[in-house]
């Protein structure tokens, strides 16, 4: 059971970047760069771009809802100490991701 719970937690951690992969310019500080690159490579029409953007927006909403539901269910199971440890694990993972993103963007950490 403990291994299963850890697998679920790690899955949630791994999926978090997917949720943010197609954020709009205001959330990412980049004017939809990934989306525009994909649209250009696929030679999408304006209508297709709008449809694909809606698919990603819907996906993002569902992933956020799933993440929130998962967190609520875990909070009901874990002790306060375990929740604190999990939060620390999340923060370390976020820090590592930020560091990698900084390196990819040419920043130095």
pLDDT digits (tens, 9 = 90+) for 11-29: 555 555 444 444 444 444 4
DSSP, residue by residue, 14-72 = HHHHHHHTT--HHHHSSSSHHHHHHHHHHT--HHHHHHHHHHHHHHHHHHHHHHHHHHH
Q: Which two tokens stand for residue 24?
A: 């709009």
pLDDT of residue 22: 47
pLDDT digits (tens, 9 = 90+) for 50-96: 999 999 899 999 999 999 999 999 999 999 999 999 999 999 999 99
Least confident of 4-8, 30-34, 49-53, 55-59: 4-8
pLDDT of residue 7: 58
Determine the Cα–Cα distance for residues 29 and 60; give it in Å rounded to an integer: 17
**Reported confidence tier of residue 34, pLDDT bands at 50, 70, 90:** confident
What pTM value is reported for the model?
Answer: 0.56
């Amino acid at each position: 059971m403990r291994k299963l719970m850890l697998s679920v937690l790690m899955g949630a951690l791994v999926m978090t970047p997917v949720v943010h992969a197609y954020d709009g310019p205001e959330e990412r500080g980049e004017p939809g760069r990934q989306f525009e690159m994909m649209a250009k490579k696929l030679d999408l029409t304006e209508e297709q771009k709008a449809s694909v953007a809606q698919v990603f927006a819907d996906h993002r909403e569902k992933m956020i809802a799933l993440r929130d539901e998962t967190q609520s269910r875990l909070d009901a199971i874990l002790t306060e100490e375990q929740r604190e440890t999990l939060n620390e694990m999340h923060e370390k993972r976020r820090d590592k991701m930020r560091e990698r993103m900084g390196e990819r963007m040419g920043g130095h950490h």
